[in-house]
């Protein structure tokens, strides 16, 4: 399994979950330290993992990511396109840089990773068919309720997350003959370092930019009241939704988008 953005937050929880169930995981993060820490934690729990640090938007990263799995583990069975962040503004104040940063990270990067993986998967599938074997592979892309319903201040992010739904449905049609299911998980409010309560001006350095992160405590309380389950989700709960699409029980489910939002069905 290759999991982008898996050094921290939801991605880390996905990597840990898949590893706990026997997957050999290639862990990616912008920074080497979080990626290596997740690898160490997987190994400490008895799993197998390798690190592939770097930006998913960098030229040549997709090929490097796929090659790490092939060289390190001899195959590629699961692709999780998880890496991402938000950079919000109302449309009249949104810069071209903000717009393209979201499209590059949430839409172009998954496209490149899947494009790089296709020849590898095609070759593996052909060899398996010739040997009389049938192996079902899994792709899970990550969207958001913002991509399904829109969200004020997130024209860039919502557009990219809507696009990944279309990519999912298209690849389900293209890759079905290769025995690959392609599905999508759309998250609601999940508590991570990028959404943690922050009364002040919290920031995170992403791609060399200082991005405002966090949600005002009053706004967070209001958001949680609007969720039928009454709270935001944990990274582990978010990982569980991805895991559903990676198990044999979902081998005949493809081209679908699953909302993981605590019952929230709109914004």
Q: What is the DSSP string of the chain?
A: -EETT-SSHHHHHHHHHHHHTT-EEEE--SSHHHHHHHHHHHHHTT-EEEE--S-TTSTTHHHHHHHHHHHHHS---EEEE-------B-GGG--HHHHHHHHIIIIIHHHHHHHHHHHHHHHHHHHHHHTT----EEEEEEEEHHHHH--TTBHHHHHHHHHHHHHHHHHHHHHGGGTEEEEEEEE--B-STTTSB-SS-EEEEETTEEEEE-B-HHHHHHHHHTSTTSSPBPHHHHHHHHHHTTSGGGTT--S-EEEESTT----
Judge whether 157 counts as a catalytic residue.
yes
Selecting among 157, 187, 243, 252, the annotated active-site residue is 157
The residues carrying an active-site annotation are 157
């Amino acid at each position: 399994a290759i999991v982008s953005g898996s050094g921290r937050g939801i991605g880390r929880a996905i990597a840990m979950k898949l590893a706990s169930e026997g997957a050999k995981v290639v862990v990616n993060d912008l920074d080497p330290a979080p990626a290596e820490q997740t690898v160490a934690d997987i190994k400490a729990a008895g799993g197998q993992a390798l690190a592939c640090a770097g930006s998913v938007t960098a030229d040549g990263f997709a090929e490097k990511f796929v090659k790490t799995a092939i060289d390190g583990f001899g195959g590629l069975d699961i692709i999780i396109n998880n890496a991402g962040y938000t950079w919000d503004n109302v449309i009249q104040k949104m810069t071209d840089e903000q717009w393209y940063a979201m499209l590059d990270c949430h839409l172009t990067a998954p496209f490149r990773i899947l494009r790089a993986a296709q020849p590898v998967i095609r070759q593996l599938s052909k060899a398996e068919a010739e040997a009389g074997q049938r192996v079902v592979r899994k792709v899970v892309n990550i969207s958001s309720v913002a991509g399904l319903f829109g969200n004020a201040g997130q024209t860039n992010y919502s557009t990219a997350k809507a696009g990944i739904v279309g990519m999912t449905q298209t690849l389900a049609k293209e890759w079905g003959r290769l025995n690959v299911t392609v599905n999508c998980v759309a998250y609601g409010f999940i508590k991570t370092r990028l959404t943690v309560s922050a009364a002040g001006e919290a920031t995170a350095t992403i791609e060399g930019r200082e991005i405002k992160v966090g949600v005002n405590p009053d706004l967070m309380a209001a958001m949680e009241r609007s969720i039928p389950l009454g709270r935001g989700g944990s990274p582990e709960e978010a990982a569980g939704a991805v895991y559903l699409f990676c198990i044999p029980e979902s081998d005949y489910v493809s081209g679908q988008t699953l909302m993981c939002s605590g019952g929230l069905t709109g914004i």
